[in-house]
Amino acid sequence: MTATQPMPRAGADTGQAWWRGATIYQIYPRSFADSNGDGIGDLPGITAHLDHVARLGVDAIWISPFFTSPMVDYGYDVADYRDVDPTFGTLADFDALIARAHELGLKVTIDLVFAHTSDRHAWFVDSRSAKHSAHADWYVWADANPDGTPPNNWQSVFGGPAWTWDARRQQYYYHQFLKEQPQLNAHLPAVQAALLDVTRFWLERGVDGFRFDALNHSMFDPSLTDNPPATGDHPRTRPYDFQVKTFSQNHPDVVGFVERIRAVCDDYGAVFTVAEVGGDGAMPLMKAYTAGEHRLSSAYGFDFLYAPELSADLVAKVMRDWPDAPCADGLSEGWPSWAFENHDAPRCLSRWADEASRGPFARLALALLTAMRGNVFLYQGQELGLLQDDIPFHLLKDPEAIANWPLTLSRDGVRTPMPWNAQAPHGGFTRGEPWLPLSAGNIARAVSAQEGDPDALLTHTRAMIALRRAHPALRLGAIEALRAHGDVLTFTRRLDDEMIHCAFNIGKTAHVHHSPPGEVILTLNGADTRHLPAWGVVFVKATA
């Protein structure tokens, strides 16, 4: 099937919404493909390489922020929600990207950052100008304590107090991240209305879905109550880690805003909406934001993104959290989404596998991800087995890593450019000097080096996505008979009369395993229906 002939996508033969059970490919635009030689990826670069994404067999792409921004946090500090930053191109370039993606059968989802803006956004410029300006209360302002200190003890994710003094208003403003990212007052109906208009703007341009960044950060306790101190033994590398974020985020009123977002999206058809919900106690929020038919489609799980190792027990615990059963309040349970790595989290092979095991482990990890109940998110380069790059301090761009050096692992190491051609300078990413360096090891894993190789991870990735697409039980089925015993993980995916038994040995020691009778549809790393060697995998389509 050629790249211009769209492959069948999730939901096409089941009557389900296109996004349920979908495989979604994340693109970090600065690092995907540079079309103009300035060393930074851009929208035309994405468009030119969409054939590669379509050949993977995925259903959709998710593009990280490309909006107008001073790039203090590389696009997550938005100065204009309705335009493209010149670094990445123009609105016409985005329209061309949408058209090409749809031609290839790919849906397009984008990030919307509704917790904060850039301090250069026109709303904030007006808000800080006077206490009675048109946007005066669109952000979170508070007077100083009598001794001049900030109004409470809330801490920033990036280090230090979450409050910065502004001489123009003679008040502090709140920022959960960088001081250049002032917090929107999403409790205010006018702010919600403006953000919903932003949503409509992109829907009108043909966007098929949204990931809502840091959604649980979008509201706070209006009384500005101090957070309590954290207890227990856990890593504390930043002041932020010393508190339980009881009052600075996770406000219950977010659910009402979620329902307003869903209502707007419903006006445009089967739009996919996924919430990013991180931090302690995320699971109840993920459930709340996705329960029933009037909230978001899915929630993006963090369970694997920072896990130091992959284990059968971890996978079983995570899957039990989403049992495909009604919620306690009687609403239907939401639909989970899973990723093993992304633009913020280290490459999974660098975290989970030693050098000797990386080949077979990578195959196991992709088989596991595509067999889990929920949506699959792949991060660019994951299909190539890219590793975390080591970026020296003098080349760091990540403000969090610079502020917390050396205790915070740099996000730059997972954001290094995508290698397209192993024989070209900079892996074919750019004709200029790349904004972050590519390692020789990752250049050797370029698309060109793997294309056409039946043993390459790229070939395996395509095969696993095709297998999931070919079996509705893997895309949409319930989880049954879930067991973790030592390194061995087993479960059955069932939809109607189709049952697929999946067994994984997430370890280096061989185990005996007895699969049920049926058609063997996958074996990896020397496994069969009776034996699971190190990193062995077997899928059996069981007979009724």
Active site residues: 213, 276
Distance CA 411, CA 73 (A): 11
SS3 content of the chain, % helix, strand, coil (to 5): 30, 20, 50
Q: Return the CA Rg of the chain.
A: 23
Angle between helix 254-266 and 282-290 (nearest 10): 40
Q: Which two tokens stand for residue 281?
A: 């106690």
Q: Is 193 exposed, middle or buried (0-12, 13-18, 19+ CB in 10 A)?
A: exposed
Distance CA 265, CA 207 (A): 10
Interior/surface letters 353-392, b for 16+ CB within 10 angstroms, e for the rest: beeebbbbbbbbbbbbbbbbbbbbbbbbbbbbbbbbbebe
Confirm if 55 and 106 have CB atoms less than 8 A apart. Answer: no
* Of 307, 302, 322, 305, nearest in space to 372 by CA: 322
Which SS3 state, helix, strand or coil, does residue 519 take? strand
Q: Which two tokens stand for residue 456?
A: 């390459």
Angle between helix 254-266 and 189-204 (nearest 10): 30
